[in-house]
Amino acid sequence: MKNALKIAGIRLASGIAIPAAGLSGLATIGSSLAMALSSENRTTDVFQFFLVVVSILCLAMWCLVQQQKRAKSLVASVNHQECLGLDGTQLLGYPSPAFIVFDQTKKKLAQCQSATGDYRIRDFSWVMGWHCEWREVEAVEMGGSARVVNATGMSVPTFQRTRRLKDFALVLTVADASHPTLRFPMSQRAAQEWCTRCNVLFNG
């Protein structure tokens, strides 16, 4: 139970840390520029806001650094104990505490859980397939032109339906009857890169 709560807490922190760092970083830059460019913005409220976003930025960066240290330490430990050459620069699933790391030379992979230090070694044959996955959403957006609706010349904006792809992930199909698929959410670019990387790893 304790380990489960620890894993859930670290996973939540990892999921929040990156967007929190990005948003607080932008807010820090914006508030500092506002105070620097105009004396009217040098108020107590603006300064307090600046201190809050800087604190959030520092906390988010600290969480990311600690997560990176745990991941690198675990990979190094697995390499030492198992006499492997797992590539610590390519972690599938990172910055989540649950990730997979690969040794292309020995055709081995390790399922790692940096929150607890647990890991499991698998042969490459354990991975039966892989593919990119995404969700298509349709939205109505305002167009760039307007249309005239009556003789008075009154015009209204035009609307058009657009489709966007979101929620990209790399999905591994594995030889495990209880959990046959492993899903790793990521950006579109990262999903495409990992799909190509899997082709190199498992077919190279």
The token duo for 15 is 């999921």
| Spans of the chain, pLDDT less than 70 | 1-18, 21, 142-159
**Non-local CB neighbours of 106 within 8 Å, separated by 6+ positions:** 84, 85
The domain segmentation of the chain, as residue ranges, is 2-133+166-203
Residue closest to 71 by CA, chosen among 92, 49, 44 = 92
What pLDDT is stored for residue 149 in this prediction? 54
What pLDDT is stored for residue 157 in this prediction? 65
**Non-local CB neighbours of 190 within 8 Å, separated by 6+ positions:** 168, 170
Pairing assessment for the beta strands 127-148 and 118-123 based on DSSP bridges: unpaired
Task: Decide: residue 72, CB within 10 A, 0-12 exposed, 13-18 middle, 19+ buried.
Answer: middle
**Non-local CB neighbours of 94 within 8 Å, separated by 6+ positions:** 67, 71
What pLDDT is stored for residue 60 in this prediction? 80
Q: Is the peptide bond preceding residue 19 cis, with omega within 30 degrees of 0?
A: no
Mean pLDDT computed over every residue of the chain: 83
